[in-house]
A = this chain, B = another copy of it.
């Protein structure tokens, strides 16, 4: 129904997560109103991201070169590794400005329902890196797959490097969270992980 060129763009937008027909139409029609140079910049950014973006060979984070900016930063503490599911989590943690160690990006979680096995993840190089460090912080999500992955990594790390400290990020009430709105699992974590004031 739409002109062929517009339909092709709508189809491309629909490949994005959570974008249905209406949103894709809105995006595509909006693109037709953008100035020529912005559309060119958009198209070249798309092409470039596949060409130049790679996983850091040390930690698995996304980067333009061989190593990511965090692994290249000599001021970071290489003896502390923060293990996360994806590059997005690295950015989220970096925004806090509270962490000065390095990261390890698994690029996924072990998931029996989606058939993701440990060998599909960036785990082997974590074991190699862990040998030269003091602490591995397991920071996968507080979901079923996140917990499974954390338990698996904990066992593996303790087997291969018995002297290492393996920690798990705290679970509990989020900042601003109200007790009567929290679910049972969160409250149960908040109780069992309570600390002395």
- Residues of chain A touching chain B, judged by Cβ–Cβ distance below 8 Å, are 1-6, 8-9, 11-12, 15-18, 25-32, 34, 36, 38-53, 62-64, 68-69, 86-88, 91, 94-95
Contacts and interface: CB of A to CB of B under 8 A. Distances in A.
A60 to B, nearest CB: 13
Contact of A62 (B2, B87, B91, B94): B2
A32 B16 contact: no
A1 to B, nearest CB: 6
A32 B62 contact: yes
| Identical copies of this chain, number | 2
Nearest to A2: B91
Contact of A5 (B15, B25, B39, B53): B53
A121 to B, nearest CB: 15
B5 A16 contact: no
A30 to B, nearest CB: 5
A52 B9 CA distance: 12
A95 B1 contact: yes
A165 B2 CA distance: 30
B17 A48 contact: no
B17 A53 contact: no
A8 B4 CA distance: 28
